[in-house]
Amino acid sequence: MRAWPIVTTLLTAACGFTPAGDVAGGDEVDAAAADGAVADAGAIDARLIDARPIDAAGCPAAYGVVSGGGRYAFRVGPADLGGAAADCDDDLTGRTHLATFENGDLDAVLTAVGASSVTTAYVGGRCEDALDCDVKNNWFWQGSLVAIPSNLWSSSEPSGDLPFAFAQDSNGWGLVSSGGTVARAYLCECDP
């Protein structure tokens, strides 16, 4: 009965499974070492991570909203700040992180991803003076020296002494300071 390989191929393709030889784009398959040892697990893990769909700009395919050169993906979550940051960071190490808006348009991005007016979403803002996070001049986009513009803050924000930022709808999107212990949605960015 020769139908079995065809059925197996169809089932594995339908379930999203990629045979090891297809991950790297060729027919090569890790061969066992001469002494019969199994291939290095770290190498296998790296190949599986690298098998994620990448778009023409070299970003994960899920990062479909483009603004100011960055590519953005919205995650409903919920996650606390640490979990949100870790999830964004591991999408494509060194290129993805919690969203920052040095060049992108925060309102346009959140509208494009379909975030509702009641959604609050973590973004990558940081306060440089944990004792004085009520002052707008102390807030910057993570990983840069670019200050968060004053016009992006909701009225009477930032407030509080916790150096975490999230976006929320308040007659248009604005940023507010908040603690990182609350589970909420988050926005990831892939750098160009």
pLDDT at 29 over 50: no
Q: Would you list the domain boundaries of the chain?
A: 3-50, 65-190
Any idea what the Cα angle at residue 139 is, between residues 133 and 140, rounded to 5°?
Answer: 155
Tell if the pTM clears 0.85, that is, is over it: no
Q: Pick from 184, 153, 143, 178: which is nearest to 164 by CA?
A: 178
The highest-confidence range among 5-9, 27-31, 95-99, 179-183, by mean pLDDT, is 95-99
CATH fold label, 65-190: Mannose-Binding Protein A; Chain A (3.10.100)
Q: b/e string for 92-128 if b means 16 or more Cβ within 10 A?
A: beebbbbbbbbebebbbbbeebebeeebbbbbbbbbe
Each residue of 42-51: pLDDT tens digit? 333 333 444 4
Higher pLDDT, 41 or 91: 91
Task: Read off the pLDDT band of 61 (50, 70, 90).
Answer: very high
> CB–CB of 170/156 below 8 Å?
no
pLDDT at 73 over 90: yes
Chain Cα centroid distance, residue 183:
16
